[in-house]
Structure formats: C-alpha cells, structure tokens
Amino acid sequence: MKIKPYIFFLILTFLSFNSQAQIVDDISSFINMGGKIISAPTHFDSNDILNLSLITSATAGSFFLDNTGRQWALHNRSNFSNNLFNIDDISIVVIGATVIGTYGYGLTYHNSFIRKLGLQLAEAGFYATGITYLFKTITGRSRPFRNLGHKDFNPFQIKEEKTSFPSGHSTIAFAFSTVMAHQIDNMIWKIGWYSAASLVSVARVYHDKHWVSDVVLGSAIGYFVGRFVLNNQDNNKNDLSEVKKHKPTYSLGIKYYNNQPIYSLNFGYSF
C-alpha cells in the first residue's frame, strides 16, 4: 500500500506536539481518546446500533452504484472537472497544515479553545484514519483502475492498488470537516464544510481511485469519529470566557492561476 498522503497527515499531526508543559496533558487526552474509541462498541446503546445499521445499509446500497459511478467519472471528463477535482490530494496537505497551525497557535498564545480545537482535529483525523486502514487491510478490495470489477476482494493486503475499501481521503476530509462544522452554530457554515468534504469524496471516484461504496463508508467513518471526539467530555471543557474574547474565524477560498485551481483555508482571530 502506497503510504503517501495518509502517513504524511499523521506525521504532521504529531509534529504539532512540542515540549511545552501543556503538551503532557494533551498527549494524555490524545491517548485516552484512542482508548475510548476502541472500547466504544462495548458501550453501544440503541442509537449507536441504529447508526451502525444505517451505515451498513448505506454502504451495501451504494455497492449497486459502483459501476454507474465509475462510468459517470470515465465519460464526463472536462478541463473544468479536472481542475475542480484536483482538490483531493491538495486537501490532505491543507488539513495537515491546518491541524498544526491551529494547535500551534493556541499553544503559543495560551488560548485553550484554539489549542483544544487543534487537538480535536488531530484526534478525529488520526483515529478515523486508523479505523479506515484496518478495514483497507482486512478487505483487500481492488481499486477501479485495475479493471477487475467492484467485487474483487482479496483479504489482508497492503498494496495501494488492493486497498480501495474504504476511502482514506474521504475519511480524513469528513473527520476534519465534522469537527470544524460544529464549532459554529450556523447552517451555511456547516453546509460549507460538509460540501467541501463531499467534493473530496466525489474527486476520488472521478480520478478512478475509489468505488462509490468506498467513499460512502469512508465518509461515514470520518463523520462518526468526528462526532465522537466532539462529544467527548474532556475535550468539551473549554474556557468560555476566553472563547468570548477571542473568536476563531475561518474561510475557504479558491482562485485560479493559469487555469489551475488554488485552494486556501484562512484561519484567524476576531478580538
């Protein structure tokens, strides 16, 4: 399996940790979050079982759209689409840089809200990606470009071309967007983040790297791990007085240079 953007993202996540005293507590929180995610299935309630059933049904249902999705991607090529869907690999770099920037900013300027936001982003991305890689290795599904069909599964694989299910890009995009989307109670804000994550997922199908069912399950893993992290009590203990004093601001942008899209995520403060 080709490591490229996923391990790069994980490395960037850990590079955000430095030697300052606060990092000890954050590392402990990071590790504890992993333990909670691993043990979560033993504490499933009726809502969790319902969500699991919905994910299973949606993934199984999308399996019947795999060939249709691939045919759409192969027969709807254009310069505009090619430029638009370049977002998939770019997104991994942007997400990694944002995790580092957010955590580092909050740590440097002693703002617990921003620092904990960076920690939440790191936790969601890291653990969601770990779950996805476990599925990838166990299922060993061939990627579309191998032309072996969407039913070609060879369990316990590590080569990139045989680890299609589920989509790692979709997982990371939705884990990140879910945490970001729920920082502000605004519908347009939420739609913007989930639309960006969805665009990454569609791009993976467009580039013939994933089947539709791959991105459906990958997106679901990212979303629910992101929500789990947000609902964790330890991470929700933010200093509300500090939040009121320093409100984070974010904006997504896209510009074109020589007919190539340049995506940007701007982060700042309002005082």
* Structure confidence by residue, pLDDT tens digits, 166-199: 999 999 999 999 999 999 999 999 999 999 999 9
Residue 108's pLDDT band, with cuts at 50, 70 and 90, is confident
5-9, 109-113, 152-156: least confident range: 5-9
Name the pTM for this structure.
0.82
3-state secondary structure of 236: helix
Contact 261, 254 (CB under 8 A): yes
3-state secondary structure of 183: coil
Domains of the chain, by residue range, sit at 4-270
Q: How many CB atoms lie within 10 A of CB 196?
A: 21
Contact 113, 103 (CB under 8 A): no
Q: What's the rounded mean pLDDT across residues 45-63?
A: 95
Work out the mean pLDDT of the chain and round it to a whole number. 85
Residue 243's pLDDT band, with cuts at 50, 70 and 90, is very low
Residue 265's pLDDT band, with cuts at 50, 70 and 90, is low
3-state secondary structure of 147: coil
* Structure confidence by residue, pLDDT tens digits, 124-155: 999 999 999 999 999 999 999 999 999 999 99
Residue 11 has pLDDT above 60, yes or no: no
Contact 195, 244 (CB under 8 A): no
Torsion, CA 95, CA 219, CA 39, CA 162, rounded to 10:
-90
Q: How many CB atoms lie within 10 A of CB 177?
A: 26
| Of residues 7, 19, 249, the one with CA closest to residue 132 | 7
Residue 14 has pLDDT above 60, yes or no: no
Dig out the tokens for 203 from the structure.
Answer: 């791009």
* Structure confidence by residue, pLDDT tens digits, 65-96: 999 999 999 998 998 888 889 888 888 899 99
Residue 238's pLDDT band, with cuts at 50, 70 and 90, is very low
